[in-house]
Structure 1
Amino acid sequence: MAYCERCQRWFGSERALQQHEENSSMHHLCDSCDRDFVSEHALIQHYVQSTRHHYCQRCDEHYSSQGNLDSHFESSHYWCPACNMFFKNDNGLHEHRRQKHWYCIECKRVYQSESNLRAHQRSSVHQQANIPCVDTRCNRKFVSVSALALHLESGTCPSRLTRAQINRLVARYDTNNVITDPARLIQGPNGYSTLQRTVTAWATERSWNGSAYECFLCHKMYTTLAVLNQHLASPAHDDKIYRCPRAYSGCGETFRALSALCQHVESEQCGIRRFNHSMRNVLADLSTGMARLTF
């Protein structure tokens, strides 16, 4: 004999009790959790709240993972994942994002921070590339000075400039040390023109430690020798010779590459470009000044 406490009834076998629980309106079973709920509403709330279930209440459908459920929400419902809110239509979702999030109205994309949104708005998606390369043999144009600096630092410009050469040229041009830190430079006969670290480092097969290729400077591990040498060729171990100028209401943060300083100023993270008119033209002056230098 088997007894149903909720219904206060006896059944001839456990199988009969099971059939009763499956068919009776007094029982609402969650088979995967082996739980019985007093109402359909309670069962649905269990589906919604339990981390073991990936359930869409609007469609009354279960999904195999949270990722699949999120994909369903995005494709079939007007859902804001950051707020976990649903809206009646696309206009409602659009207005919510416009008011509550860092949101590009034209692209209908949400960004994680204000700086990320500003970077997107300054990109070629929204800005014209009207800053020409400082080398007349190069016909490329860029949307920002930081993009131009990255181009020059990459070594792909016909000028064949290297990052070390750019650093020396900027140090020579920045005679008042507005954006360079004299403490990180060596004074020569023509002023601060020689950097403390100009040696090029590269790794060989001897950097293999038995399980990975190891950087001898920071001891980070890399799966291939090529990736390790990319790391060594990057600014990762350069001196931080650039600084956000405090004299222009900057924050004084330091950087290893000119492009990193340019990105910092353009991002307006410390407000230097937004609140000080003199600093607004520093990057533009720098690009035109570099064009006058002898490569």
Structure 2
Amino acid sequence: MPVDHFCLTCSKTFASINGLNSHARAKRHTANPFFCEECDVSFISNQALQSHTNSTHGYDFAGSDDSEEEEPYCNGCERLFVNMYALNQHLFASPKHNWCFDCSRDFASESSLVQHQNSLAHEDRNFKCPFCNGMFKSPSSIALHIESGCHTITRHQVTAAVHNMRIIPNISIKRLTGPMQPPTTHTTYIATEASFNGTKYECFLCTRRFDTLHGLNAHLNSAAHDDEEFRCPKCRREFTLISGFVQHLESRVCGFAKPAQINGYYTNLTDRFSGLLTM
């Protein structure tokens, strides 16, 4: 399946090849060279691009005069191999490499590769926001999207709605009774130039320091000083926002729920959740 134009260094995706190239130049990252100019679509490898051009456009990309076959060369080891099969065997077996064959990327350690493979890097955007047409890779991504306030819904309203859903097993530290009562007021802190200590802007609540006043105010308006609202029923770890709790589940750190269970649970609760927030 074709994918968005993606950076081979950080796996960030872009809607156009121009956007990818601008990002690669700015960050000095490696752009994806495997894209079909006729379709403006990127592919994960040269082989995938060749297969696309052969089947979709009816000509042999690999056999054209102006094409070059992918050289079986390992940049990390500065070693040339007899063919791509031998190179792939080397990348798979060598302790010097932690190679992801899905995105042709090497990682510094085996644990980094495992973390990458367990991440959302290769997932499709299958989850739709209940308030807009935005598509996301995971339930936690949608939760973060809504909590950001982009739909004029505050993170406090999201938290109150989740509490009122009476999820079983219980994840709420503060069990609500009666109908949902979203907070009508909440404290907003605004820092001024008086927060400057001579070198940094210092938070008067936690003494964290920031380079700019804007950065300090963004910190004060975040959930950094909110109370913890949710608790994992298995490991008892506590979270301020529901997005943090769902990310914890998706990471499978404590094994409380499998990805399929999380995704199915999210699908069942979406309508109920959005209904509570639009009452």
TM-score range, shorter chain: 0.5 to 0.7
Quick one: which of 140, 144, 151 aligns to 2:145? 151
Quick one: which of 77, 81, 87 aligns to 1:90? 87
User: In 2, Cα distance between the equivalents of 1:102 and 1:268?
Assistant: 22
SS at 1:292 equivalent: helix
SS at 2:130 equivalent: coil
SS at 1:179 equivalent: coil
* Number of the residue aligned with 1:174: 166
CA shift in 2, pair 1:219/1:232, >3 Å: same
Quick one: which of 212, 219, 224 aligns to 1:231? 219
User: In 2, Cα distance between the equivalents of 1:113 and 1:91?
Assistant: 16
SS at 1:282 equivalent: helix
CA shift in 2, pair 1:113/1:261, >3 Å: farther
User: In 1, Cα distance between the equivalents of 2:160 and 2:113?
Assistant: 34
Report if aligned partners of 1:240, 1:256 keep a CA contact under 8 Å in 2. Answer: yes
User: In 2, Cα distance between the equivalents of 1:291 and 1:234?
Assistant: 23
CA shift in 2, pair 1:289/1:101, >3 Å: farther
Determine if the alignment matches structure 1 residue 190 to structure 2 residue 186.
no
CA RMSD of aligned residues (A): 3.3
User: In 1, Cα distance between the equivalents of 2:236 and 2:98?
Assistant: 27
User: In 1, Cα distance between the equivalents of 2:96 and 2:165?
Assistant: 44
Deviation per CA, 1:256-279, whole angstroms, max 9, x where unpaired?
Answer: 11111111111111111239x866
Which amino acid is the alignment partner of residue 265 of structure 1? L
Q: Which runs of 5+ in 2 are unaligned?
A: 1-73, 80-85
User: TM-score, normalization: structure 1?
Assistant: 0.57
Determine if the alignment matches structure 1 residue 285 to structure 2 residue 274.
no
SS at 1:272 equivalent: coil
* Number of the residue aligned with 1:15: none
User: In 2, Cα distance between the equivalents of 1:78 and 1:283?
Assistant: 47
Which amino acid is the alignment partner of residue 256 of structure 2? I
* Number of the residue aligned with 1:222: 210
Q: Which has the larger radius of gyration?
A: 1
Report if aligned partners of 1:212, 1:224 keep a CA contact under 8 Å in 2. Answer: yes
Report if aligned partners of 1:134, 1:291 keep a CA contact under 8 Å in 2. Answer: yes
* Number of the residue aligned with 1:46: none
Number of aligned residue pairs: 196
User: TM-score, normalization: structure 2?
Assistant: 0.59
* Number of the residue aligned with 1:160: 152
Greater strand share, structure number? 1
Determine if the alignment matches structure 1 residue 254 to structure 2 residue 230.
no
Alignment of 1:42-191 (within 5 A): 75=75, 77=77, 90-96=87-93, 104-109=100-105, 110=107, 112=112, 114-119=114-119, 122-123=120-121, 126-135=122-131, 138-156=132-150, 159-174=151-166, 178-182=170-174, 187=176, 189-190=178-179
Report if aligned partners of 1:78, 1:90 keep a CA contact under 8 Å in 2. Answer: no
